A and B are shown apart, each in its own frame.
Chain A
């Protein structure tokens, strides 16, 4: 499994676990709009942000907040990659 695929899987696991979604992590398409497909609201998005900090070791800056960044697993993975590099 390539690193980015592994990262996406970790992100999906985190999202499903933290949001108590009734879906298998692997069934979340990489490019699916999380807000549209899984009805992610501000409370859910906050949980994802906390998950990125606690489980992926990131520190988010004010400028990191945009709906585009958190809209899909692909985008979140790219964001995590960028923050780590």
Chain B
């Protein structure tokens, strides 16, 4: 993987977005490419290195990869607290157009992790320019996602100072107009949009090939992941691996990357066979 070209780019759109294009050793660019859709808040921070290493691994397997920061995150301009998931779907669509038109990727897939996977699916439903989807541990239900965050806040507050821990105060702080989501200020509008997220509420409109990975401790994928995979008409797999999106310092996600590479190779072979 050493020596593969990587270049910083700016994706034009409603807000210019900071991006990194992982080119390939072959020239011109190979026909397949992946656009990375990052997770949210602390999960983005924890998973950053895995996403970079994954892009380099896919690039070494002859896929052009584009990573970018949503507006208000990473190196992209904008206020985090003012951004919304709907705007981030717009950002994905701007990045899709950039990957196709500027980078020159004719067959493009979205690869998303956690909330990024949910946004990737929404973006794929809004355009015909996405050919396939890879969803890593997608957030399927927004309400459940926020409830889990509240639980995390309870636990952190409890372990930080048990004597002062008061679950009522933590919950109250979560019900403010702007509340702390694991260290990130969330606006009421962002909360409303996340709460309304339910990938199983209606049949997905995306009809291309898809892979849903449930990264878990179990042999079989969980029920909601199976339901999502079936609704998409794609493949769903369970993968035994630690949740790298919630661990600072853990950057090993080889099993996830390898499973994805195998699936991508199968898709490429099928497309070549079908002409």
Contact = CB atoms under 8 A, between A and B. Distances in A.
Interface of A: 17-18, 20, 41-43, 45-47, 49-50, 54, 60, 62-63, 65-67
B154 interface: yes
A50 B218 CA distance: 13
A44 B41 CA distance: 19
Q: Interface centre among A20, A46, A54, A66, by most B CB within 10 Å? A: A46
Interface in B232-272: 242-243, 246-247
Contact of B151 (A18, A46, A54, A67): A46
Interface stretch (B21-29, B76-84, B109-117, B156-164): B156-164
A20 B255 CA distance: 15
Given A42-B152, A46-B151, A65 B167 contact: yes
Contacts of B242: 20
| Most chain A CB within a 10 A radius of its CB, from B148, B159, B170 | B159
Given A42-B152, A46-B155, A50-B148, A66 B217 contact: no
Contacts of A50: 148
Contact of A49 (B151, B159, B168, B170): B151
A81 B156 CA distance: 25
Interface residues of B, number: 20
Contact of B159 (A41, A54, A62): A41
A43 B159 CA distance: 11
B43 to A, nearest CB: 11
Majority-rule SS of B interface residues: helix
Contact of A67 (B148, B159, B170, B222): B159
Nearest to A20: B242
A67 B162 contact: yes
B171 interface: yes
A20 B250 CA distance: 13
A42 B156 contact: yes
Nearest to B157: A65
28 contacts: A20-B242, A42-B155, A43-B243, A43-B246, A43-B247, A45-B159, A46-B148, A46-B151, A46-B152, A47-B243, A49-B151, A49-B155, A50-B148, A60-B151, A62-B154, A62-B170, A63-B167, A65-B151, A65-B154, A65-B155, A65-B158, A65-B165, A65-B167, A66-B158, A66-B165, A67-B158, A67-B159, A67-B162
Residue of A47, A49, A65, A67 contacting most chain B CB atoms (<10 Å):
A65
Nearest to A67: B162
Given A60-B151, A62-B167, A65-B167, A18 B217 contact: yes
B144 to A, nearest CB: 10
Contacts of B247: 43
